[in-house]
Structure 1
Amino acid sequence: MRVLIIKVSSLGDIIHTLPAVTDAHLAHKNLVFDWVVEENFLEVPSWHPAVDKVIPVAIRRWRRNVVKAYFNHEFRAFKRTLQGIHYDLVIDAQGLIKSGLISRLSRGLTIGLNNHTIREPLATLFYNKVYSVPRTEHAVDRIRQLFSRALKYNYDTRVVDYGIDINRIAGEHLVNEKKQVVFLHGTTWLTKHWPEQYWRHLAHIATESGYQVLLPWGNLEERRRAEFIGKDNGLVTILDKQTLSGLAQKINASCGVIAVDTGLGHLAAALAKPTLSLYGPTNPGLSGTYGAKQLHLNSDFSCAPCVMKVCGYSGAGVNDDFKGQTFAVIPPCFSSHKPENVWQRFENLLQE
């Protein structure tokens, strides 16, 4: 039996789908998955042994010029690949119009959520069969339920297995003698950023506790922030720019991870690394890191969680200081997460 998964982005959403793949493969040993995913995340589905073919799509790039993309050879090649196999089932685990379109382009019975529980109800127009899964449950649970109902099996809700085979992750398999912690400081929304002064303070606490701090980065702004965090601290290492596989290797070889609300935090959770995640304007209840050894620090600020990309706080400013330098805590909801407390909670997590 061959099933096509459509889950194109983002990193966290793709990782949230992996436990369902594990469940399905345990229930049906002859089941093989193919997976349509954005080209930037091509590595991730291939880490799961039940995934055979990973089909890249470039919607993010193509939509810059939709007409040109539709008629160019790249889209036609994608369409040919997509239609090269008749699938027993096509599961749209994304629930968006763009993923619904891809499901309709494929060959097979298309499955998705119904219009009361899906993110974009118009996507249901592309499905042959729909299922209702409560919107009040975590994304991992919702996808597991969708797969189990579509493929007709039961699973153990108490066990969450992302199924990643570390031997499938490209690159050198690292074994570190040093105590290392990875700081995942980059994220998308401006309001999700923990103040960089707090990161720098935390780096000092971590290195004084005997740890080496690893700082990945993905763009020039994150590189600048990493340099600020590591300034005047010889035990902070700013990594070279990493592929997802390379960063997965670094995370897997570390003692643990401290992260903001970012897709890479979900990667750490999938690798079963102790991860402390910092939440200010967002609520981890429906889409936070999920699995063993995961600790969420939620803000107790008056307006949190606002789930806003732009901070709307209009009250008195919140200030803090580090090494005699006063700075504004922006967004102020992160004033709940002092570096000293973050490190203490993280050390407690490591000892569990």
Structure 2
Amino acid sequence: MKILLVKLSSLGDVVHTLPVVQDILAARPGAQIDWVVETSFAPLLSPLLASGNLQRAIPCEIRRWRKSFWTAATRVEWRAFKKQLQAVHYDAVIDLQGLTKSAVVARLARLAPGGKRYALANQTEGSGYEAPTRWVADVAIAMEPHIHAMQRGRELCARALGYSVPSVPDFGLKEAPALMERAQAAPETIAFVHGTSRTDKQWPMENWIMLGRQLNTQGYRIALPHGSTDELATSQAIAAALNDDVPAGAAPRAVVWPRLSLDALTQHLAESTGVIGVDSGLSHIAVALDLPHVQIYNFDTAWRTGPLQRLTDANLARQLSIFAQPTPSVQAVWDAWLNCQPAPPSTSGMLPSQ
């Protein structure tokens, strides 16, 4: 069976769709799965390609092409994309995006005899939806409006292909050859994912510094990724505060990672002890890597995009979301972190006075 998944963007949405591949393979062994994705997010699919779970990742630049459709360069790129997309005839084309751009891609894909196009029949809470996705589909599937973003995609594919959704999502990253071995550095490293495209999702810098100091007292080093000039400045400011009294020649308590490609950044996160971050694509990658993780929310939307709680053998939550307005306190995030892993013997439930 040949299946095409259409999930173009954004980073968090692509991460939430990863379990669909493992669900399909568990229910339809031997299925050949291709995935159309925006070029900037294609590196996230590299581990699935390396493991053989995904046959092809077909990159596209549809957002950029729409802004320059009249140019010769865009026409050349568009023809090359169509040729790659239409090289295979599919038994099922599943539009997991629910937008006009994904409907265009689904319509361009070629079907095998008896093949069908599937799509969402309705909008779900907090998600975008545009009518063309329903018009293009041979089968439009109605979904429960109040549903987690990850479960929406899994349910759509299960109903399209006729199987039951497995109880535990498998993102397919832990078994990937490039990510199987997590080389733990000394000291153990906690990544702070402070960057987000929306300023109203950010956590105050002074909170990151206070939390970092507490983690430093427990022997953790803080790692600070960044994806823009502004995020780099924030990473540097946090690192400077945490390293302000480090003796000359001593190991730093916080390090700023270099600007990394998405696949390299995923590898760096995989080698971390855990991640604490705001609601962003990188935080969702931490969930997919099954790392101890606390996700910070200033809005009550964790039910839709946050980690789904699973307990460890020690009856602790592996990953938690924490919500408060205007923003969660440092103490609340610290308590959540302690609940994500066994605490060191010297750790109390309260932060030291600052």
TM-score relative to the length of structure 1: 0.85
Number of aligned positions between the proteins: 317
2:207 aligned residue? 198
Query: Is the CA contact 2:296–2:323 (under 8 Å) kept in the aligned structure 1?
Result: yes
Is it true that 1:63 corresponds to 2:63 in the alignment? Answer: no
Gaps of 5+ in 1: 302-332
1:29-44 matched pairs, under 5 angstroms: 29-44=29-44
Query: Is the CA contact 2:122–2:143 (under 8 Å) kept in the aligned structure 1?
Result: no
1:346 aligned residue? 337
Inter-CA distance 298–238: structure 2 relative to 1 (3 Å threshold): same
2:194 aligned residue? 185
Counterpart among 211, 224, 227 of residue 215 in structure 1? 224
Aligned AA (2:275): V
2:314 aligned residue? none
Query: Is the CA contact 2:184–2:273 (under 8 Å) kept in the aligned structure 1?
Result: no
Counterpart among 139, 145, 150 of residue 129 in structure 1? 139
Query: Is the CA contact 1:269–1:291 (under 8 Å) kept in the aligned structure 2?
Result: no
Inter-CA distance 102–224: structure 2 relative to 1 (3 Å threshold): same
Residue 279 (structure 1) shift: 0.3
Query: Is the CA contact 1:266–1:290 (under 8 Å) kept in the aligned structure 2?
Result: no
SS class of match (1:186):
coil
Residue 343 (structure 1) shift: 2.0
SS class of match (2:29):
coil
Q: Distance in 2 between matches of 1:9 and 1:168?
A: 25
Residue 244 (structure 1) shift: 1.7
Counterpart among 112, 118, 123 of residue 111 in structure 1? 118
Q: Distance in 1 between matches of 2:308 and 2:106?
A: 27
Is it true that 1:288 corresponds to 2:274 in the alignment? Answer: no
Identity %: 34
Aligned AA (2:260): Q
Residue 133 (structure 1) shift: 1.4
Q: Distance in 2 between matches of 1:114 and 1:69?
A: 36
Provide the alpha-carbon RMSD of the alignment: 2.1
SS class of match (2:222):
strand
Inter-CA distance 53–194: structure 2 relative to 1 (3 Å threshold): same
Gaps of 5+ in 2: 244-251, 311-317, 344-354
Counterpart among 323, 326, 335 of residue 298 in structure 1? 323
Query: Is the CA contact 2:120–2:141 (under 8 Å) kept in the aligned structure 1?
Result: yes
Q: Distance in 1 between matches of 2:229 and 2:138?
A: 45
Residue 231 (structure 1) shift: 1.0
* CA deviation string 1:67-124 (max 9, x = no partner): 2278521111001111111111110011111101110011122110114557223321
TM-score relative to the length of structure 2: 0.84
Q: Distance in 1 between matches of 2:118 and 2:154?
A: 14
Q: Distance in 2 between matches of 1:285 and 1:12?
A: 14
Q: Distance in 2 between matches of 1:107 and 1:257?
A: 41
2:165 aligned residue? 155
The range that moved more, 62-71 or 35-44, is 62-71
* CA deviation string 1:2-59 (max 9, x = no partner): 1010001111111111112111101111111000000011122232242111100012
1:138-149 matched pairs, under 5 angstroms: 138-149=148-159
Residue 172 (structure 1) shift: 9.2
Inter-CA distance 228–241: structure 2 relative to 1 (3 Å threshold): same
Q: Distance in 2 between matches of 1:35 and 1:73?
A: 21
1:86 aligned residue? 89
The range that moved more, 90-99 or 55-64, is 55-64
Residue 177 (structure 1) shift: 3.5
Query: Is the CA contact 1:69–1:75 (under 8 Å) kept in the aligned structure 2?
Result: no
SS class of match (1:66):
coil
